[in-house]
Structure 1
Amino acid sequence: MYTSVKLPRTSALFVSALLGGVIFTSCASSHQSANQALPQIAADGAANKAMTPANESSISQNTEAAPIARSRPQLIKKAAMSLTVNSLDRTIDAVSQIINKQQGDLIGLQEQQPKNDNLRYTATIQLRIPENRLESTLEQLAKLGTVESRNITAEDVGDRLVDFQARLTNLQKTEVNLQKIMDRAGSIRDVLSVAQELSNIRQTIEQINAQLKSLQNQVAYSTITLNLEAAVSSTSPQPAFGLQVQETWNNSTHSLSTFSVGLLKLGIWLIVYSPYLLIFAALVYSFTRWRRTHSPRLTQTPEPTISE
């Protein structure tokens, strides 16, 4: 991105004069080279007129038969493959050997352990391989198990690469011209203004250069995402008898210790709140005794009988 820098009127005139001098010099040199090339062109024209019609026809035929050179497409290739394998650990080791053989890199590895006996072990491997070895690598990976799915995608970034290269070339030319202007600038204000513009140009050059290298790296190396799944669901092996007895003993002792600690905590709580419990018990006992003392008698004594 270009940023506009406002220069004083005298500075603008000075910079314009310098740019005009550079352009005039380049035009003069191109005109001189064109004048020097005129005699050579005339001589070539005379030589062409001296050629026989047979030679002209043969040259025209050769020109028509020559194939048109086409630029190689710049593609970013990404592949994905899903395999069902017998042993996940051995397959991961085999994939590592293939990566080393193909001069690739392991980007990521993620293993997922099953949470119960019905699920299967799975793993996802991401690797980066040189673009010219993508097909051979996929063929070797397919031999490790049963291929469930396979797909390859490609993105043409040739136009983006050409655009970045053109912008980079123009910015580099602008940087050279600004450097010449800064070398010829007289006042400090002019030097600072041109230096600021030059700094912005260099920052833009670095950004475009980084994007260009990133695209070139993606074109040179292809990415493969490999999904692995075990063929047989995982079954946890039955532990030995001694291990079972030891595990039972550990669980029982742990339960006993937990129960004992709980009783101890309960006793501590009772000791701490014992005054309140005693007061409550005394109140209950006093109320019960008072009720027995002041309650009316329900039974009456029988009167004596007089015998005649």
Structure 2
Amino acid sequence: MNRLISAKFKPSLASCAILGTIVLTSCASAADKTGQAPMSAPLPQEAAESSADVGGGSNMALDTAKTAPIQGRAAKAQAPVSRSQLVKKAELALRVNSIDKSIRTVSQLIQKQQGDLLSLESNKPYQQNSGQTATMQMRVPQAKLESSLDSIAQLGTVERRTLTAEDVSNQLVDNAARLRNFRKQESTLLKIMERAGSIPNVLQVSNELSQVRQSIEQLDAQLKSLRNQVAYSTITLSLEEAIATTLPERALGLQVQESWNQATYSVGALTTNLLKLGIWLIAYSPYLLLLTGAAWFGYTRFHQRHSQLPETRNSD
């Protein structure tokens, strides 16, 4: 009896399983055309049981269709997001009350932030109306750049604050890829050199190998420099004293000595100029004598003529 029942229901269960598979396939194709994820419709309990009797191929197809979108979304979620490699540079200008105290505070802050002081320049005032100025250049880890700027800004009044960033991600990727290619070329040339028998071939391969190694060293240095610039950010700090410092008044003895030096210098300069003038007069004395003689001769002639005119009138 059981055999007759199973023989009657087995074709109907198989047909139900086939129909369910066709429906799911059509739904999946429609979903692919509209750009949406395929939705799997639940099968009746009888179809599931009959599919188990017919074979496990349809169940595997259904499981694959169900898990494929989930696996795709999981792969997208697990894909790492590349972070931009930025070279950051900041400039900060402050007006402070004391330059020396600010320099000490900034130096201690740099050491605390595990940074380095690159340069320091301090200018003392030479006039009463000018104040002391200083310029500092330092570098700090990029993660501590903002906190360092905020701490330095608290030392005085911020007059200027700028921050620039340059994306060097493409340069790092390109240099890294080129470096890998050059290293592969180096290993290939080493293998060729081992197999090379004649001396000219060995020399040719050796020259190419030296060029490749030179390119490797250059790219490696560029990569290290870029990574160092990304890891550490540069800060240029300009300090200006708010109150101009007053120069101390010089002692009376120094003033008297300075006046005496100026007076003796003036006397010496005058004497020198008079000596120079005498030398010039001596050098031009012949011309001066000629001019003086000509002038005297003209004067005497003129005086004689005027003196003779009254005499002639009196005689008349």
The normalised TM-score by structure 2 is 0.65
User: Which residue matches 1:280?
Assistant: 291
Aligned match of 2:151: 140
String of CA shifts for 1:4-60, please: whole Å, max 9, x gaps: xxxxxxxxxxxxxxxxxxxxxxxxxxxxxxxxxxxxxxxxxxxxxxxxx9xxx9xx8
* Aligned match of 2:119: 108
Pick the structure with more helix per residue: 2
1:158 deviation in Å? 2.6
Q: Post-superposition shift, 1:177? A: 0.7
| Matches for 1:33-112 after TM superposition, within 5 Å | 64=74, 68-112=79-123
**Structure 2 regions of 5+ residues with no counterpart?**
1-62
1:298 aligned to which of 284, 289, 309: 309
What corresponds to 2:52 in structure 1?
A: none
Q: How many residues align?
A: 248
Superposed displacement of residue 237, structure 1: 4.6
Aligned AA (1:217): N
> How far apart are the structure 1 equivalents of 2:296 and 2:249?
62
Amino acid corresponding to residue 109 of structure 2 in structure 1 = I
State the AA in 1 paired with 2:292. Answer: A
Match for residue 205 of structure 2 among 180, 194, 197: 194
Tell me the amino acid that sits aligned with residue 211 of structure 1. Q
Report 1 or 2 for greater relative contact order, CA contacts < 8 Å, sequence distance ≥ 6. 1
CA distance in 1, matches of 2:130, 2:136: 19
**CA distance in structure 2 between the aligned counterparts of 1:277 and 1:130, rounded to whole angstroms:** 84
User: What percent identity do the matched residue pairs reach?
Assistant: 52
Report matched runs for 1:153-172 at 5 Å. 153-172=164-183
Which structure is larger by alpha-carbon Rg, 1 or 2?
2
2:260 to 236, 249, 273: 249
Counterpart position of 2:46: none
- Gaps of at least 5 residues in structure 1 are 1-52
- Check if 1:208 corresponds to 2:219: yes
Deviation, 1:118, is 4.1
Counterpart residue identity of residue 185, structure 1: A
Q: Structure 1 stretch 88-97 or stretch 175-184: which is displaced more?
A: 88-97
Shift of residue 167 of structure 1? 1.0
Corresponding position of 1:232: 243
| Post-superposition CA distance 1:269-297 (Å, at most 9, x none) | 22333333333323333343345456783
SS in 2 for 1:162: helix
| Range 186-195 or range 106-115, more displaced | 106-115
Q: Which amino acid aligns with 1:148?
A: E
Quote how far apart the aligned CAs of 1:188 are: 3.4
- How big is each residue's C-alpha offset from its partner over 1:136-156, in whole Å with a ceiling of 9 and x where there is no partner? 432332232222333333333
Q: RMSD of the alignment, in Å? A: 3.4
Deviation per residue, 1:231-288 (Å, 9 max, x gap):
1235445444444444333322322221122112222222333333333323333343
Equivalent-residue separation in structure 2 for 1:160 and 1:298 (angstroms): 110
Query: Could you tell me which of 174, 177, 181 is aligned with 2:192?
Result: 181
1:76 counterpart SS class:
strand
The AA in structure 2 aligned to 1:171 is: F
| Distance (whole Å) between structure 1 residues aligned to residue 212 and residue 282 of structure 2 | 82
TM-score by length of 1: 0.67
| Shift in Å, 1:197 | 2.4
